[in-house]
Copies of this chain bind each other. A is one copy, B any other.
Amino acid sequence: MKLSSKNIETRLDTVYDAIVVGGGMGGLSAAIYLARYGLKCLVVEKGRGRSFWMQDTRNFLGQDPTAPGRDIIKHGTEQALGWGADFLRGFVEEVTDEGETFAVKVKIGKKDEVGHTLRTKYVVAASGVMDNLPKLDDMQNVYDYAGYTLHVCMICDGFDMWNQKAALIVNTEGQANAAFVLNWFTPYISVFTHGLFEVSAEMKQKLADHGYPLYEQPIAKFHGEDHRMSGIELADGTMVDATTGLVGMGSQRHNAYLKGIDLEYNGQDLVTDNMCKTSHDRIFALGDLKQGLNQVSIAVADGTLAATQIWRTTRRAAEPRKWEENIGKLSA
């Protein structure tokens, strides 16, 4: 059922089997499975995650390469609701471990100062990441190209950059090393630091050895039309040709709501086992929040794994259903 501030009261006494934080590719896959295992689950989605910004979906079996992420999300939300999952547009502020259950504090809309506390046995963290984009005075100029010809994922879109003049925009020296992977797809790489850090003499030499120009001025503007880049203009007026770009500036993980719980991380990624279970027995993590490839197919499989493990544990703890004791519940 779709929940909102108008009917959330009906769920304040519910103990969910699982609350899924994030209604992107992984979270919706988990919800579809959880619901079909007959488990009571709720998806809380804040809106506008990474897959919402995907203008196309190149690599995912069964989808046209032009399928926008938001269409798959909309379809998946209907799927999950159809099988009986609850869905709430809201923001998860904090998760507190109460022993048998978690208290999940959710705010619904910006005016909801107090929030609502929901309860669940398991938490599925599927809240993903948001890519860091270069900050310009006119951010609309970035959004005109981001997700079209200015990409954030080399695995997803490297093929579409094949042998093109490509801008690689980075904010640390470590990210600049992406040039030496991107050159599988194209050798015509110009590297931009947007003025954010000092490039070491060693990196300068390595880029020069490959013939990749380095631009350390801030970016003023992207040039092009109809979402197709033609070049980048720097603060000093320099124009650099580029028909495509890769933003390699890292990403922010949406996992602040877990900060009160002691979980094992590897860098920023949650450590999980082969069923997506974190170091806490009742918290699972999917897709971009955990170690591994940030791909739709991986997040969708992660949802399958987490939901299946939650079902297994729940089922094994339940009393077996015997024929005689259930007479009367028989379906028509």
Contacts and interface: CB of A to CB of B under 8 A. Distances in A.
Interface string A311-332: 1000100101111111001110
Interface in A75-92: 75-76, 79, 82-83
Given A59-B304, A295-B301, 5 more contacts: A29-B61, A163-B326, A183-B321, A211-B323, A298-B301
A298 B304 contact: yes
Nearest to A159: B36
Nearest to A183: B321
A70 to B, nearest CB: 12
Contacts of A72: 61-62
A180 interface: yes
A188 interface: yes
What is the copy number of this chain in the assembly?
A: 2
Contact of A162 (B38, B65, B187, B292): B38
A214 to B, nearest CB: 12
Given A297-B303, A323-B211, A330-B163, A60 B62 contact: yes
Nearest to A291: B274
> In which size bucket is the chain A interface?
35 or more
A58 B301 CA distance: 14
Contacts of A323: 187-189, 210-212
A196 interface: no
Contact of A184 (B61, B315, B324): B315
A308 B209 CA distance: 27
A119 interface: no
A38 B184 CA distance: 9
A293 B297 contact: no
B322 A29 contact: no
A306 B83 CA distance: 32
Top 3 nearest A-B pairs by Cβ distance? A211-B323, A301-B301, A187-B321
Interface string A183-194: 111111100000
Interface in A272-316: 274, 292-293, 295, 297-298, 300-305, 308, 311, 315
A61 B38 contact: no
Given A315-B184, A322-B211, A308 B330 contact: no
Nearest to A27: B61
A331 B162 contact: yes
A322 B212 CA distance: 8
A1 interface: no
A65 B79 contact: yes
A181 interface: yes
A164 interface: yes
A301 B29 CA distance: 13
Contacts of A212: 323
